[in-house]
Each structure stands twice: as C-alpha cells, then as structure tokens.
Structure 1
Amino acid sequence: MGENDPPAVEAPFSFRSLFGLDDLKISPVAPVHFDCSGKYRCRSSFKCIELIARCDGVSDCKDGEDEYRCVRVGGQNAVLQVFTAASWKTMCSDDWKGHYANVACAQLGFPSYVSSDNLRVSSLEGQFREEFVSIDHLLPDDKVTALHHSVYVREGCASGHVVTLQCTACGHRRGYSSRIVGGNMSLLSQWPWQASLQFQGYHLCGGSVITPLWIITAAHCVYDLYLPKSWTIQVGLVSLLDNPAPSHLVEKIVYHSKYKPKRLGNDIALMKLAGPLTFNEMIQPVCLPNSEENFPDGKVCWTSGWGATEDGAGDASPVLNHAAVPLISNKICNHRDVYGGIISPSMLCAGYLTGGVDSCQGDSGGPLVCQERRLWKLVGATSFGIGCAEVNKPGVYTRVTSFLDWIHEQMERDLKT
C-alpha cells in the first residue's frame, strides 16, 4: 500500500472487469507503517535516504530508483522542472538549447520530443516561481546527458523566462467533429486512445494509448493474468464484433509494486506493445496530465468502454459506449453515505450521486478524460465501484496525477535497457 492509501475495510465492491473479481470482499490487513518524514523513501527496501542524495548520480536505493524521475513537467503550462539539491526547481530559458529537450524527454521515457518553448516567469503558478536552475553553459553539449547533472541553482532567471516542454503530440481527435451529438454509442475517432485489452481473444478490460508503445490500464486487470503472450490489444475500433482491426501483441506488463489484489490502492499498470502503433485519424495517444495539475470538482469529463450496459449483465457491450460524468471531490465521496472513508488521495470519483450514469464491468482500466485547452488529458483509469450507476455510489478511478512519477520511471527504465 502507498502512504496515502486507505485502510482495508469490510465492504463489498466490484472491480470494473469481466473475469471473476466482482463482489470481492476486502479483508482487513494491518498496514505496514514506515516513517520517512522529510526524507526519500526507497520503495525497493525499507530504507530512507536524505533528499540531497536523490538524483545526485549515486544509486542509494537497492534498484537505483532514486536516480530516476529527476525531471518532470508541471502545472497548466507544462513547465520543465529538475530535481536537484533536495527539491524541484524550474528550468530557466537562459542558456537553454532546443536539443536539450531530447534529453529531458528521454528522462521522462519518451524517445523524442515535439517542442520546447519559453514562458514569462510572471505567468507561472506560485509553486513554480520559488527556485530556479539553468544549464551550465560551460558544459560541452555532449556532456548534457542528464539534466539534473548539468544545472546550477540560481535565485531567478535573468531572461525572465522559463522552459516549457512537450514530448509527444497527444490529446487530439483529428477525425472527429464535436458537432456530432446524441446517444451514448461512440463513433470512430471519437475516443482514438481507447484500447480493448483482450486475454486469449476475449475483451476483459479497457486501456488508454499514451505513446506508440505504451498502454495504461488497471493493475487488477493483469495481476492474476500476468502472461504477456496471452494478451492482445485492439485500437481504432468501435465494434468488437467482426471488426477488421488488427491485434497487437504485448511484450511486457508492469503493474504497481504496491498493488494488492484484495485491497483498493495503486490500481494501475502499463502494457508495452511488441511493436509501435501507427497513429492516424482513428488511433491517437491521450495526453498525460502534468505534475500538480488540478482538475476542479464539478468539471464534466468523459468515460468510455465496452463494459456491460446493465449492472450484473456480465458480458461486454459489443460497441464502444461513453458517458459524461462530473468530477466529485474526495470529501463528498468519502461521506459515510457514499464510500465511508475508503477513498484515498490517489483515487478520484466521478459520476452522479443520484445514479443512472456510470462505468461498469468490462470498463476497468479504461480512460476518464477531461479536455483542457483543446487537449484531452487522461485524468483517471477506471477502477471500482459498488454496483453500477447506483445512488450514492459513483465510479472510482485511479488518479493519474498521483502516479506520474511511477509511469515515467517505468518508461525511462525501459528506454535505457
């Protein structure tokens, strides 16, 4: 369990998958507490290290995890930050060269980049104006292979500008017109990042395309079926029946190390395809949100999938459906009449307390997306609920912003192997 995950409780719930995890009972298990206040906690061992030792070029944790996740993009504007000297610091555009963006994106697990730009410091949210770094202009370009080893700390940016970064072209619906309205059945290219995860040829869960090689889904979809060769992925389709969409082989499955099958937290996994997808009007990646990017309560977002259209129906829907669902604050979702305290900060609720609209069995792992500045962002991955569309039981999703570090670390590790 993560430090912010809820305690185990005695409450029936349904994972939103199709293979026998429904109506599971959560068993009470005493959580292990290991205090690393003010320090960095190694996940691979019961060890705390000083924050100054993170991203310092020396692997202090057992598997070297303290030397990953040293770069991030944050806030509404995708500001580039580097972890150095014990804290996150914003990158000044002074002495920045465009090809350094390749280095930054590689440290986020992306093999290439789209663009880097600059933004006035005065336009930043407050938390990004506190500490700054610049690239050491005395370093030869071939020595700038890791940004956190190539910067020096400064009080402000002489240029008055900082670096923004975009590593992948994402979040666009190139072949879909929003003028098409009505009904719940989805159209081709309406949700071009939607994936069908199929085990031995049968749809079990949904997923979201984030790069040509990587799909995000729920850990409970793959935990007991950890057999990459038995999985295939289909994308760019609406109907599961008689569809000519090719099946893509899976090379690797990674689920969160703190996911436990009879507990609720850390319900996230990644699937790496054996070969890259070719993007077109029907297949596009969704954007990951940025670190510390907030999506307000009440914002209307969208969930999609081939899940059952009625609670207890069991079988997947033959066609892709979608629903508009407003985000619900964790405070309201944790009310005793709703989920009674089991919703952790790394979870997200969306739906209607009055019931009637919800994700359901077969939707697990699929996207909850919100549109921000014309880009669609993956805010949640469908996780669980009590029944489907019941009163006071909205859908619960894995909060993607809580797992950005984990996602980028897995992709960065794979890029280096």
Structure 2
Amino acid sequence: MPKKIYYTNSKLQPADEDHLLTLAKQYDDVFIFQTPKGFKLYAFDSLSKIIPGNDHENQFTHVSHWKDDLQSLLVPINATIPPQIVGGFSFSPEQTSRSVWNSLSSGYFFLPKFIIIVKNNNYTLVTSSFSKDDIDREKAAFSAQISTVNPVKKHLNNPIVKKVELNVAEWETAVAKTTRLIRETNLKKVVLARNLKIKLTHEPDFCLLWQRLQSTQPNTYHILLKKRKLIFLSATPERFAKFGAAYFETAAVAGTIRRGITPVEDNQLGKILLADKKNRSEQQFVVSDISNSLKQVGLVVNHPAIPTLLKNKNVQHLFTPIKGTGRYDLFSLLNILHPTPALGGLPRQDALIQINNIEPFTRGLFGAPIGHISFDGTGELAVGIRSGIINGTTSFLFAGAGIVADSVAKKEVAETRMKFNPILNILKDDTE
C-alpha cells in the first residue's frame, strides 16, 4: 500500500541566496525557478520522481496520473500551501538519443521534500515527509542547514578549452532545403535548432554560474534543474503558461532582432522588427495557433491585435500576451499546445517530422515546458530556450530559429549565434 505523504508549512527568515545555492550542492535533485517579476521557488531532495511518458501514455497524461496518485496520498499538518511537482517535459518523446542529455533526455519531474517559496520577500518552507512523527525534526534540521552552510566566494577562473558550433554547413543546407519545402508543400514554418559544444578546463561551480545568470540576464526567467551531476540552465524570456483552476495565461513570442548599442539604435531596430513582414507573419502564425488551441478546450480567449516588443539583454522579440478563461483540464491543454509554433512549426506534425529528419541531436529539455505545478491547480511553466546542459567539463548550448518561405540561411545562423550568448557568456572565464 502506498505511503501517505504528510506536509506542513513554516515561515522562514529571509535567507541569503548564497546559502541556498551552497546547500543545493548537497542534494541530487534540485530545482530553482525565478520569474522576471520576482517570484522564487527553491526545491531540494525528492520523495517521488518520474521520467515523463511510457509505452501506454504520452508524457502529459503520464505526469497527470502520477500527480493524481500523489495527491491522493497528501495529508496536511497545519498547512495551507500544498507541495508542488517541479521539473520539465521533453521537447519530443520520439527523440530518444541520450548522448547529450543522458538521464534528462526524456524530461524529469520530482516531488520535493523541501520547497522554499519567496513572494514579496516572505519566505515559506513547505516540508513533505513519509513520516508524520519525523516531519518536525526534518523541517528543523533543514532550516538549520540553511544558516550553517558556508558559502565560498570564487572567481570564474575556468577558461574555455574548446568551442565548436556543430554542423554549421549542414545546418545552412537544411535551412535552404526547408525553405524550398515550405514553398512547395503545405508547411508554413519549421523551427530548426542547432547546438554549440563547450569544453571547460574545470567542472564549473554552478553557484557562480547561477549568480552570473542573474546579473547578465536580469529580465528573464532563471531556471536550474540538477539531477546528480547533470545541470540544466536556462535564461528564457518566454513563458509557456501561468495558470489556475479557471484561467490560463500564455504568450506568443516570435521574430528576433538584436539590441542596439544606443537607445536610438535600439528603438530603430525595434521599429524594423515591428514592420518586418516575415517576422510579423511568423508572429501571427503563433498567435493564431495558440488561440485556437485554447478555444479547443472551451476557454474564452483575449489578446491584443498588435504585438509589442519583448526586450532582453542580447535580443528583442515580437510579443503578444494571450489569456484564456474558463474551466479546463491542464494536462490535456499542455498536450495540445506543446510544442507551439514558436518552437516547433506549422502544421505541427509535419514540422516535427522535418525537425526529426534534419536535426542530428536530441532536444531534450530545450524548447520544452519547465516549471512548477501545485496540487491546488496553480503553477507556472516557462519554455526551456536560451539554455544549455552541463555535464562535468562538457556543455552543450542550444538555439533555434523559425524558418519560413523567405528565410535566408546565413541570417538564421547569425540569429542562432546571438541566442547562444546568454549561457555562453556565463561560462566564459572572468578574463575572457
């Protein structure tokens, strides 16, 4: 018979993030999720875990049933805030190579033993345990750990030994072939990704990487998923969804141009992007597809008619917020939405076939929904772009571009090269 899962809430004194990051080194399973608006979630250790998808269920149904089974075991003890499951789905379960992603190839979720939630500088600890008698002792021991760990300040003295953009010529050829296919068939858009391999002198200190991620990419989501020695990092600008029982907020993000050196140049580039026919068409594909998906499950949909600009440190995008209201099944909707045209293409299945035919690597968590889902029906998922996987001294960075009928291969290479920078820059030695 499955064990009951007891959980309790307690207030914490504001904790120095250096202590939380140092503490994370002691656990095999760690998840950190920070939004551009200041919400923070830190999750440590696991009571239950799952690799999404199996022979009988798609990845969303599989996680949904696992979550339902866990929810039936939950028993609150002086608690109003329930636990959450944390982690990420995979971009495509059909991609099964483990050469880059190892055990994160197919995604990964876990039910944390300890969750720290930070809102408006209020710190709440959610402790879960199989033992009702031990939960208070476990909570106290973890709280004591936070204040007693000893952060060590370091400089990032870890030069890059080797940096290789993999299969660039082949990727340019693939882009050209895809544009021809789009002109000759019913394909409208295919998002093609490529990767960059980095070899470091030493195994990186992820505490330092996280600090640099925050300082260099201040207006994005910051995500870290640690499974033993594997570390996934993302500085994604793109929300997949923020949701509750009767609402679902998402956004269409498509089209890219660099940031300007001066405010005048930056504004000029933004105007060029807003007026660009190719990028506006790509953006409209995404808006229409997401809106239709939300309507498919019975939600009432609202969004602005004209996109605005989403500006990040290195690039700016066309951005349209989309909101649906009404009752719906979360995991059914996630299954319908993923991947959106911004990460896969249109029509979806035809685009995925082209992706699988062309890309010589597994996307894993790249481009997939990643975040936290509470047992009260609320949560938030971001899209795992501007990301990389770190395994010891080897890292792989990922970037994609939306290919449409008039795409130019060399321009798409330049665009994806810009998109490597958020993670590449935090891996560089301080002297580089």
* TM-score (ref. length: structure 2): 0.24
- Structure having the larger proportion of residues in strand: 2
* TM-score (ref. length: structure 1): 0.24
Which of the pair has the greater relative contact order for Cα pairs under 8 Å at 6+ separation?
2
